Structure 1
Amino acid sequence: MKIIPNIKLIVKRILNYKVPGKYLTIRPDDIYLVSYPKSGNTWLRFLFGNLLYNDGVSFLDINSKVPDIYMTSKKEIDGLSSPRVIKSHEPYDARLPKVVYIYRDPRDVVISYYYWCQKFSVIKEESFDSFFQSFIKGDVPFGLWSDHVNGWLSAAKKFPEKILTITYEELKEDTYEGFKKILDFCNFDYNEKDIMNAVNASSFAEMKKNEKETEANSFFNSTNKNISFVRSGKSEWKSKLTETQLRIINDKFNL
């Protein structure tokens, strides 16, 4: 017998299971950090966490301070004080009051997404070429890259007061100015020193170091230790994609 989602949720509550944060109660002052997977969302969460909290964030507490709706329970997120900064990979949702949507070149996304899936055992013993074909067809979690991105970009044109879009590449080129632009949109007023401290604490070198220091006690403990979650942060598609793959992905997404 197939149980409909709402009944599943009720059953979980009755049995005291952890209800995923995607069922949280949306507040009018919530700020959502949204992206297609592997597009810079975790980096953005670290930037916010290292700015908003005096003791910063690490992979030990990132999910409780700047919660992930897939890893943090509804109860935990609902217990946070406002304004909350929350991570999501969901497609366009008109209910969200304030959204920072970050998106990245799909040629780099497909590479990063492949390694993420291997690290978290979403796929096993699958070649990159096989994963590439699935990505092109949208046969991966969260579907086709272009559908996800275009949905949010179209909405941002209609509701610029609610949705700010920024590319991963723009944020990487000048992280201070990019983050300052995001903070202005979120109506957060911080001085230059605090912002720069958050930027420095959220560098890829610092995040990579933090991953190694915390992996035994964080959510990385049960993942493949031979694959880093924080890899290089650099564009790799020119050296990783074959000519055939490059032609396919360029044609698919009109690059």
Structure 2
Amino acid sequence: MSTTPPLTRPRSVPQMLERVQHMITPQSMSRALAFQPRPSDVFIATFPKSGTTWLQQIVHGLRTGGDMDFDEITQVVPWLETALDLGLDIDGPQRAQPRAYKSHLPWPMIPKGGRYLVAVRDPGDVLVSQFHFWNGWFFEAGSVTVEDIARDLFLNQTLPFNYYRHLQSWWPQRREPHTLMLCYESMLADPQAAVRRIADFIGVPLDAALLQRVLDQSSVEFMRAHARQFDDHLLREAR
């Protein structure tokens, strides 16, 4: 009979920070940092819960004409930092051009030489969205409050990765030709304008039919109806 105690979820922010260090292996992170992109490669380089999955779906829909033949969006738009851990080849061909990747890396760390699509979102909404996303996965449900997350993580300037450091790193790049910085709230208010700007930035010809298909398949209603394809279950199962 095994005497190994059952694995439990963290019950505090410090415990969560210790556990999350092991979510990405050093080998996978090293592979991500050493990646040599093509000039046409597109990096969706958002802070978590700032429209990342939404942008993955828009970019993939634009480049494929609306392909939905995937189990989870990470399979077709890999998360650069976890790709090696999930058995995904970031150097290989993708389903369509341009190749696209998700990343949460700040500007100094992300591989240079591609194009960078960045969305910024109201920090209060990011905080609340992160809390609900992590509750019951990153920590035991109900054991950590949103105030704990705000104080010990979101506003903790000693951590290498937080909302404000990420934004400060990308802000000087906002007018560079290799970067398109979008406002999440503006995307919500006028998704058609956002899709047009993204299509132009990644070099995909856009007609009325493709525009409508991408708008339909990146809507809240559509993505909720197909939630299994956007729920990070590949990473959840691996970790």
Interval containing the TM-score (normalised by the shorter chain): 0.7 to 0.9
AA at the equivalent of 1:129: E
Are residues 1:114 and 2:131 paired? yes
Displacement of 1:70 in angstroms is: 3.1
Whole-angstrom CA distance in 1 between matches of 2:121 and 2:229: 28
Count of equivalent residues: 204
1:37 aligned residue:
48
Displacement of 1:54 in angstroms is: 4.5
Structure-to-structure mapping, 1:131-146, within 5 angstroms: 131-134=149-152, 135-138=154-157, 143-146=161-164
Cα contact 2:192–2:211 (8 A) shared by 1: yes
AA at the equivalent of 2:50: S
Whole-angstrom CA distance in 2 between matches of 1:209 and 1:108: 23
Cα contact 2:199–2:205 (8 A) shared by 1: yes
AA at the equivalent of 1:37: P
Q: Which moved more, 1:61-70 or 1:205-214?
A: 205-214
Whole-angstrom CA distance in 1 between matches of 2:102 and 2:229: 23
Percent of residue pairs identical: 21
Q: RCO higher in 1 or 2 (8 Å CA, sep ≥ 6)?
A: 2
Whole-angstrom CA distance in 2 between matches of 1:95 and 1:162: 10
Whole-angstrom CA distance in 2 between matches of 1:27 and 1:128: 40
Whole-angstrom CA distance in 2 between matches of 1:115 and 1:22: 29
1:105 aligned residue:
122
CA-atom RMSD in angstroms: 2.9
TM-score (norm. length: structure 2): 0.74
Structure 2 residues without counterparts, runs of 5 or longer: 1-25
| Per-residue CA distance 1:27-80 (angstroms, 9 max, x = gap) | 222111111110001101011222222562377141121111134337522112
Distance 1:166 1:214, change over 3 A: closer
Whole-angstrom CA distance in 2 between matches of 1:64 and 1:83: 15
Distance 1:221 1:58, change over 3 A: farther
Cα contact 1:102–1:167 (8 A) shared by 2: yes
2:184 aligned residue:
168
1:128 aligned residue:
146
Whole-angstrom CA distance in 2 between matches of 1:51 and 1:77: 20
2:98 aligned residue:
83
Whole-angstrom CA distance in 2 between matches of 1:138 and 1:156: 23
Displacement of 1:118 in angstroms is: 2.0
Distance 1:112 1:149, change over 3 A: same
Distance 1:111 1:96, change over 3 A: farther
Are residues 1:67 and 2:110 paired? no
Distance 1:214 1:100, change over 3 A: closer
Cα contact 1:66–1:87 (8 A) shared by 2: yes
| Per-residue CA distance 1:148-189 (angstroms, 9 max, x = gap) | 1121111223xx211111011111111111111121122221
Structure-to-structure mapping, 1:195-206, within 5 angstroms: 195-206=211-222
1:207 aligned residue:
223
Whole-angstrom CA distance in 2 between matches of 1:91 and 1:192: 35
Whole-angstrom CA distance in 2 between matches of 1:139 and 1:118: 23
Are residues 1:153 and 2:179 paired? no
Structure-to-structure mapping, 1:234-245, within 5 angstroms: none
Whole-angstrom CA distance in 2 between matches of 1:169 and 1:210: 23
Cα contact 1:91–1:151 (8 A) shared by 2: yes
Distance 1:205 1:57, change over 3 A: same
TM-score (norm. length: structure 1): 0.69
Cα contact 1:104–1:169 (8 A) shared by 2: yes
Structure-to-structure mapping, 1:213-232, within 5 angstroms: 218-219=233-234, 222=237
